[in-house]
Structure 1
């Protein structure tokens, strides 16, 4: 990875203008004993989007005018324990918060059934249109067993007279679900049989695996008018295919089926090969000949120890002090393999070994020949399927009138946010750029910072920048490179001391000043001061390292001077 001078200039200005690097990543508050919320210095503040969609939810202050919690009982059960007792709340995350003021819908109770729904302003009909379903999931306490999927409910679902439950008819179910070894991203849709009017669930075969992490994850489903689909996680495609080919049961039934009234004739021959009826056992065939016989030609090896036993009393064994021969009998040492036997061909009495009998033939059976009466594998005749239909546009789903979360989970604090349901892939991506991508970088940085710091051989955590600049910069470089693998610009933005500190300390001070001053930036004074401070610090570090005999990292210095990682 190469560091450009402009990035280093920004980093130097940040180091100088925002105090020392130690303070830049210090947690500003601690709201939870389990996982504190750490506020990064460059954290953005939530601003409602201007993007429009058939349904777009960011859980602003008026959210409860749209969403209705359910406390119904699960269908087909009369036990109170199966009721939707779980509570909901809209709040900011308390684990790896990535944006100020960004609230989401949160599952509040562990080991409970939760249900909540919101009606669409008007029914969503995606006939001959692209359908895009996108939302964020944040598993603040992980997910051992439970769902985090959403449902798009059928337009005629009666949410006025009946509370939302598992019995409420839905069109699409999409999102992560995990319990034990089962871990998948569901994509299920209900398909209406045009002949009978009945609905049948179509399940995606080989669905992608959900990412069980505590940072925000973005799930996107795109269904195109050409009956293809795409599933994305964090804006990366993880599954795509055809509605006709990738779902079970299949969309359309077979045009022909087996005739249920057809049966195999009694004289039908379906044995392809039979024993040759004309074959006879040869006269010299001896079925009694044994498989093995004694090898009369074998001779005893010269080093065979006939008088040595295979095992001997353990010479190191000793009779226990508490052994009472009157009660326990005579003590006999345990035996161990005779070591002399391992050094020779064998021990004990020698006998001639067995060998394969060349006259052995075994039981005679007639050879097989092709059956002259063979008619083939029988199968019933095909007839036209009376239930056949051909739906050429399964992507034209039933109109949808509401959205709902109807889940059971062992973990609480699952957070949902930034729900987009519409027809524009571009708008869904814009929303992700405004929300997910902004906070996800901060969350990943906080996640990395939350990991235990490397310790030296004595088990002591690495020092701060003031205590040991070389070790501090090395730690920040590790973080910088980790983020930069996926987002180089984000790495410079969220770990400025890695890029700026490395450049300044290791001989790129002049380049920083030239870049900032030449550009007429207002950060020029700060860059100059930072460069000067870091240059002096570099001298101190080198002098101290030289005096103590420590490694000054000349190889790294040379690489940094050339703009290389």
Structure 2
């Protein structure tokens, strides 16, 4: 009986786990299911189906790659709409900036079913924006932006993204208890509470608008000693004429004006005098403004809730193209997402091995080209020396003829 109950619970958990969307871009006809935006006024770039120039598996590592520099990219795919009410929401995908990206986005956006895919653009309302964004040395972050009551809210924490040229998995988990986790390559890099880490709600407490610091409140920890007097010999100038300076012998008062020695720091200068400080007997400490409950604060135990999600899009800008997106997964199964991302270490190892071989081949090629160029320069120098010698000999022969 006990075993049967355990099996029943296992079966229920298995059945209730859903994969709402998944695309590993293994099909050469991937474009049949994705829609390019035609929003006017933007130079829109195209994606190509590729595993890149270095990879672990030529077929399994194929994704969609940005292919044109200095372009906006806007492409999306629709799927059956769903709500994450009462269950986790997991958004996961892989990013490979093999072009050593200098400035560009690597994130995804999740939309509700109202999105016009052919007109998707930067101002199109979305439910979630998640993923890496890099622009110069100052911006290397993971965006986690959630919509709440029609307004986009950025996470209050700074999450650093990966900035190398290899594949990395990015995972966002939003749970029905209003907590979240961000993982990179299956390792947690940030977590917390939605209410604490986003400004969705008005603060619980505010400063009492009717409270004021009492007029007799003394918040000075020390006071000047009233009995301390400045010494009579205290005041000395900060700079004095250099006593060792002498008037130059070639100084002409009529031409150069009256000579004055240069000024130097006065070793007897003591600075501005200040009386000694004593503990203030009337000190009451720092006055703290009392707080009261904020009447505008309205608790919400469903900050996590996305009532409808049915479109995923890549809507981004890149200065230098070459980013590969792959392994897109939206599910409520945290374990499935974790298992899917487990292979990233093997993928990275294969990529690094191939790239190291490519770099070594390129290094030898560069060395050979450099050697050939040097040999050519030496030959040119030898030819030039021979030409100069011939010219010199001809000149000498002509001189003898004239004689």
| TM tier, smaller | 0.5 to 0.7
Which position in structure 1 is the counterpart of 2:116? 159
Which residue pairs with 1:135 in the alignment? 93
Give the TM-score normalised by structure 2: 0.67
Cα distance in 2 for residues equivalent to 1:415 and 1:409? 12
Q: CA deviation at 1:148?
A: 0.7
Superposition pairs for residues 421-500 of structure 1, below 5 Å? 421-432=330-341, 436=344, 439-452=347-360
Please give the alpha-carbon distance, in whole angstroms, between the structure 2 residues aligned to 1:286 and 1:52.
Answer: 82
Report the counterpart of residue 114 of structure 1 in structure 2.
73
Deviation at 1:189, TM superposition (A): 1.2
Aligned CA distance change for structure 1 residues 404 and 204 (closer, same or farther; 3 Å): farther
1:420 positional shift: 0.7
**Pair 1:290-2:234 in alignment:** yes
* CA deviation map 1:502-528 (0-9, x unaligned): xxxxxxxxxxxxxxxxxxxxxxxxxxx
Residues 1:178 and 2:134 aligned together: yes
Task: Map 1:69-88; keep pairs closer than 5 Å.
Answer: 69-73=36-40, 80=41, 83=42, 85-88=43-46
Structure-1 separation of matches of 2:131 and 2:273: 63
- Whole-angstrom distance in 1 between the partners of 2:18 and 2:177: 24
TM-score, normalising length: structure 1: 0.49
Whole-Å Cα distance in 1 between the matches of residues 272 and 116 of structure 2?
A: 80
Q: Verify the 8 A CA contact 2:81 2:113 in the aligned structure 1.
A: no
Q: Does the aligned pair in 2 maintain the 1:184–1:207 contact within 8 Å?
A: yes
Match of 2:35 among 68, 82, 95: 68
Any conservation in 1 of the 2:51–2:59 contact (CA below 8 Å)? no
Q: Which whole-Å CA distance do the structure 1 matches of 2:221 and 2:63 have between them?
A: 73
Instruction: Give the equivalent residue in structure 2 for 1:240.
Output: 191
CA change 1:216–1:365 in 2 (3 A) is closer
- Seen in structure 2, the aligned counterparts of structure 1 residues 272 and 406 have a Cα distance that, compared at 3 Å, is same
Choose from 186, 200, 206 the match for 1:257: 206
CA contact (8 A) 1:133 1:421 kept: yes
Paired residue secondary structure (1:244): helix
Q: Does 1:188 align with 2:151?
A: no
Instruction: After TM superposition, list the pairs within 5 Å mapping 1:364-443 onto structure 2.
Output: 369-371=280-282, 377=287, 379=289, 382-432=291-341, 436=344, 439-443=347-351
Aligned CA distance change for structure 1 residues 280 and 415 (closer, same or farther; 3 Å) = closer
Residues 363 and 104 (structure 1 numbering): CA distance in 2 closer, same or farther, change over 3 Å? closer
CA contact (8 A) 1:269 1:375 kept: no
Q: Separation in 2 of the partners of 1:107 and 1:175?
A: 16
Aligned match of 2:241: none
| Residues 1:92 and 1:288: Cα distance change in structure 2 (over 3 Å) | same
Alignment of 1:220-231 (within 5 A): 220-231=171-182
**Counterpart-to-counterpart distance in 1, 2:64 and 2:362:** 36
Question: How many Å separate the matches in 1 of 2:190 and 2:77?
Answer: 28
State the Cα distance separating 1:429 from its structure 2 match. 3.5
Q: Separation in 2 of the partners of 1:226 and 1:445?
A: 43
1:89 lines up with 2:59 in the alignment:
no
Q: Is the 2:51–2:58 Cα contact (8 Å) retained in structure 1?
A: no
Contact 2:113 2:311 in 1 (8 A): no
Larger gyration radius, structure 1 or structure 2:
1
**Counterpart residue number, 2:163:** 211
Quickly say closer, same or farther: Cα 1:106–1:366, change in 2 above 3 A: closer
Q: State the Cα distance separating 1:391 from its structure 2 match.
A: 1.7
1:233 deviates by 2.1
Query: Once the 2 structures are TM-superposed, how far is the Cα of residue 241 of structure 1 from its aligned partner?
Result: 3.0
Q: 1:280 to 1:430 in 2, by over 3 A?
A: closer
Take 2:18 and 2:29, find their aligned partners in 1: how far apart are those partners?
17
Report how many residues are paired. 321
